[in-house]
Each structure stands twice: as structure tokens, then as C-alpha cells.
Amino acid sequence: MNQIAFSGKQSVMKQQELADGEIFERSVAEPDLFTVIFDRHYRSVYGYLSRRVGRAIADDLAAETFIRAFERRSSYYPTAERALPWLLGIAVNLLAHHHRSEGRQFKAFAAAGNREATWSDGETTEELGAVSSERLVAGLEQLDDYDREALLLYAWGELKYTEIASVLGIPVGTVRSRLNRARRKLRQALESDDENVVQLRRAEGTNG
């Protein structure tokens, strides 16, 4: 009995060590393997969606994201480094039908009072200090839809430039342009109040 249990643990450990692409490839014939993808990425997908449309709707959208991913698993490119960008691409398409919900979520976020929101727009390459939630929402609402989408995938989705390009189906250069424009507009909006000046900190190096 102990040997069976040990063998089972070894099997689970080996599955956890597999790359996302290999899991997708094998899950076509072994559907149960897809649970590894769910376990790895559900929290990130749900976290991104909950910030966009709130927890209640995020529950449904996250579930739908993984249902669609499972149905389309045979179309996943096994050479892709990780599955999160592909999953968020599905989530972004689902979000297109929930713009009103996102607007309500922004307003609810702002209505939370004077609490501060720490905004980090990516992998520590640029960080905004603590700002009031009202100011942050007002700044985000001033961005064009395309620019805001790129910025939120970077800040809340924690994707690299190349991954954002893959999600949105645009060149990396366009991602850089949209992020630069979004940062500039957001910074201007947040710095427009003399009592709430935001400091930006750039780390050395570039994001790929």
C-alpha cells in the first residue's frame, strides 16, 4: 500500500515538473493532465479578472476561460514558454462582453474611500507609489481602451512585452508605444493634483 502511495506521489511530482507546452500536448490524449495547468495558472487568471470586473463576475469568467482553454488545448503551441499569456488572451476576449461590468468595478474601487492603492506596472521596472484609489481609477479611465488593455496586462497580468504582443496580436514595438503612452497619460493624471505627486522609479535594464 505504501509503495502504491509513493508511486502516486512520484507521478504527481513528475507532472508538476513538466513544462506547460508538454502538458498541453500530452493532455490531448490524457485530459486529466490539464488539471496541472489549472493549478498553476488559475490564481493569476482570476486575480487579473477580479481587478477588472470584480470577484463575482471573475469567478464565472475564470471558469469559462479554463473551459475554453481545455476545449482548445490541441491548438496550443507546445513551444510556448508558459501558458499564462494564452490563457489571458482568452480572458481578454471574454472581457470584451463585460465593459459595463468593468466600469462598475472601477467605480466601486474608487468608492472604497480614502484607502490607498499600490500600483506596480510590471516586473519592478517601473513603480508608482501609493495613491488614492479614486485617483488611480480616474487616471485609468482617461486612457484609450487599447492603451489601458496593454498597461493592465503588464501591471495586473504581469506579462512581458513579448507576451502582451502575443495576447493582443500586435508587434512588440506597438506594445512599447502603447505602454509608454499609457504611462505618460496616467502619470500626468496622477500628478495633476499637487497634493498627490507620484514618484516613478525605473530599474536598470529593459523588459523583453
**Whether the predicted pLDDT of 114 surpasses 90:** no
pLDDT of 107 reads 65
128 phi/psi in degrees, rounded to 5? -95, 140
pLDDT level of residue 8 (50, 70, 90 thresholds): very low
The type of residue at 40 is R
Mean per-residue pLDDT for 133-147? Answer: 83
**Whether the predicted pLDDT of 4 surpasses 60:** no
94 phi/psi in degrees, rounded to 5? -65, -35
pLDDT of 203 reads 35
pLDDT of 6 reads 37
| pLDDT tens figures, 46-65 | 999 988 888 888 999 999 99
d(CA 23, CA 40): 11
For the chain, list the domains and their CATH numbers.
2-95 (1.10.1740.10), 112-202 (1.10.10.10)
Lowest mean pLDDT among 39-43, 136-140, 146-150: 136-140
Report the mean per-residue pLDDT for the chain. 78
**What Cα–Cα distance (Å) separates residue 75 from each residue in 72, 80, 97, 129, 177?**
6, 12, 24, 41, 30
**Whether the predicted pLDDT of 182 surpasses 80:** yes
Tell the burial category of 71 from Cβ atoms under 10 Å away from its Cβ (0-12, 13-18, 19+). exposed
